[in-house]
Every structure is written in structure tokens, then in C-alpha cells.
Amino acid sequence: MPMLNKKSISVKLELPEQPIIITTCTSKLAQVLSNLITNASIHAFPKDVVNDNKLITVKINEANDNVHVFIQDNGVGVEQKNIEALFDPFFTTN
């Protein structure tokens, strides 16, 4: 993702040693992951906050026939007032 390079954001991948095979709609999964990483790059690292070690970590693991995908950043975090609405459809702070 070119925007990550432009904003000097590093991405760390933590993947299992063995590949995980899943059956899914690839384009929809890719869109969800892309949206999460894009949102992190925009909202976790605002221009007015200095952070010389911008990092987004993507971790994937498998447990009990389930695949878990974790996306974490070391940015500013979510304001307390927005926590409850975070997963509401079309929620925005703009």
C-alpha cells in the first residue's frame, strides 16, 4: 500500500509457519483488511502527532478450526467518547 510508505508506516506480519487454507470470498476479505489498515494509517497517526516508530502489526493464527486475524497499531488510540459507536455501520468522526 503506497500510502504506508508515504506516511513512513511500517507493517509487521506475524504469520504461522505453515500456510492456513480457508474458503472465503477473497475480494471481500481483502477489502476488509484493506479498510482496517487504511483506517489505522489515517486515524492512528494524525499529522499533528509525532511518532517516529509508526507500526501496524498484522497477526494471523489458527485455533480450533478458526482463523484469527488481529490488526494492531501503536498510534494514538480511540477517544473514549467514540468507543461505543466504533462498530456501528457508517460511524465516522468526520
17 within a domain of the structure (yes/no): yes
Structurally, how many domains does the chain consist of? 1
Using CA atoms, how far residue 9 sits from 14, 17, 20, 38, in Å, is 16, 25, 27, 11
Using CA atoms, how far residue 8 sits from 27, 29, 49, 63, 72, in Å, is 26, 25, 13, 33, 16
89 within a domain of the structure (yes/no): no
Q: What's the pLDDT score for residue 6?
A: 85
Q: What's the pLDDT score for residue 46?
A: 85
88 within a domain of the structure (yes/no): no
Domain CATH code at residue 27: 3.30.565.10
Q: What's the pLDDT score for residue 7?
A: 87
Query: 44 lies in which domain range?
Result: 2-82
91 within a domain of the structure (yes/no): no
Q: What's the pLDDT score for residue 58?
A: 96
50 within a domain of the structure (yes/no): yes
87 within a domain of the structure (yes/no): no
77 within a domain of the structure (yes/no): yes
End-to-end CA distance of the chain: 23
Determine contact, residues 7/45, Cβ cutoff 8 Å: yes
Q: Along the chain (94 residues), what's the average pLDDT of each consecutive run of 10 residues?
A: 85 94 92 93 87 94 93 93 90 81
Q: What's the pLDDT score for residue 87?
A: 87
Look at strands 66-73 and 55-63 and give their pairing: antiparallel
Q: What's the pLDDT score for residue 75?
A: 93
78 within a domain of the structure (yes/no): yes
Tell me the whole-structure pTM to 2 decimals: 0.84
